[in-house]
Structure 1
């Protein structure tokens, strides 16, 4: 099993932080990317002291023009041997789309989709040149269906899920793999940050970040194309495939609509 450095975006909290811990725990050096320099430093210090790995911090706002190129250049300027790219950074918006803040919707698209695509394309040059590399994109079970009152978020994750599956097939047999991690509601502050505190999302079932990150690490190291953590979410994703779309839309509306 290789021990390439893992580059993790959105590594200061939530799933990103736990994914970084999983890689460090298994002996990988890590490069941590997020906006909050002080928090990143704390995460890096903890990983280095616990697991005796090198943890490099790159404080950067990925929600700006040219950020993906700047990050790629920063990795090369520091001579980091990145062999695993973890595209985790992202946000969610909630509420009626007709009332949405357009700047927030643009930011959601940039972080959830555009940055992920750009970084994947840039690092694939390195991976395909050496004939080895792994891409782990954090999607969502939300991406398997439309989501009224979170229309943009569900659509962005549909892009991530579909893009990654297609890429996995393109890369088959090359030594490079692509994996999409598609959890359901996770026990983080995502719902509160998305303004969903008064919706039914996650009110009956939430996955722990450790469960999700463990499944993601195992899946990407196996080269799986799709990883859906947890039996309940696996069952739900299978059920969604055979449920008529109008019913799925209405169920999602009931879950996402503010109570």
Structure 2
């Protein structure tokens, strides 16, 4: 941390886990720069300011270099003590039935934009030899995601990347933590057009509890954390169950119309 009030950047902070992570940061005394690609980020900033912290909001498309650059410029050179890279996008239905621009948007948001942001902020942290990075991965990254193939693959990338980056920074004072939640009560499944699936209709984890688990792990410098005992069991099972079986199981949860079967 710097000697001044700590400063955090939280992406995907308009709703869901991202907003809850921003709340965690605010309660812990961080000033905030929050970002999302929708106008609701301004309402989130208004709410967060009631906690007495300085909160700036940026509406930007973090799937693009321009959007990431705009976010970084909004920091105005202030050292970033914590980067919570949470912005993400889902996509349901069969891969060959999806519009490719939608596929590309998932990859650019979850992978390319996230990596570019971490590369920019991470280099500044390394120069100072101080900082914390939280990456929102997912237990979805452990399972071939039939009818959610691109999303699950993107989370597998982030899960793997976080461990690799943590190892590369092992001899520094910069920590990398990967939060791997399961299905969480957010707008994710509506946005991914998955409300008619079993996973979309099922009971989900509380976003506030998930965020607190991730925030605490980041502050403790842990490498990774799976939120919820059921998700811990599922992630452990994924290490021993054949991939073909996992893909078949995922189909039953994510295939359109499965909520009524």
Q: When the two structures are superposed, what TM-score results if normalisation uses the length of structure 2?
A: 0.93
Gaps of 5+ in 1: none
> Aligned-pair distance for 1:52?
1.5
* Counterpart-to-counterpart distance in 1, 2:127 and 2:151: 34
User: How many equivalent residue pairs?
Assistant: 255
Superposed CA deviations along residues 31-52 of structure 1, whole A, max 9, x for unmatched, are 1112334x32322222222x21
1:210 aligns with 2:211: no
Q: Which residue of 2 aligns with 1:185?
A: 183
Q: Which residue of 1 aligns with 2:91?
A: 93
Q: Which residue of 2 aligns with 1:55?
A: 55
Superposed CA deviations along residues 198-247 of structure 1, whole A, max 9, x for unmatched, are 11115444110011100010011111111111111111111111112221
* Counterpart-to-counterpart distance in 2, 1:59 and 1:188: 19
Q: Work out which of the residue numbers 32, 35, 51 in structure 2 matches 1:33.
A: 35
Q: Work out which of the residue numbers 100, 116, 119 in structure 2 matches 1:118.
A: 116
CA RMSD of aligned residues (A): 1.5
CA contact (8 A) 2:165 2:176 kept: yes
Superposed CA deviations along residues 101-155 of structure 1, whole A, max 9, x for unmatched, are 0000111000000011001111111101111111111111000121111110000
Alignment of 1:11-26 (within 5 A): 11-26=13-28
Q: When the two structures are superposed, what TM-score results if normalisation uses the length of structure 1?
A: 0.93
Alignment of 1:74-223 (within 5 A): 74-75=74-75, 78-223=76-221
> Aligned-pair distance for 1:64?
3.2
* Counterpart-to-counterpart distance in 2, 1:220 and 1:186: 19
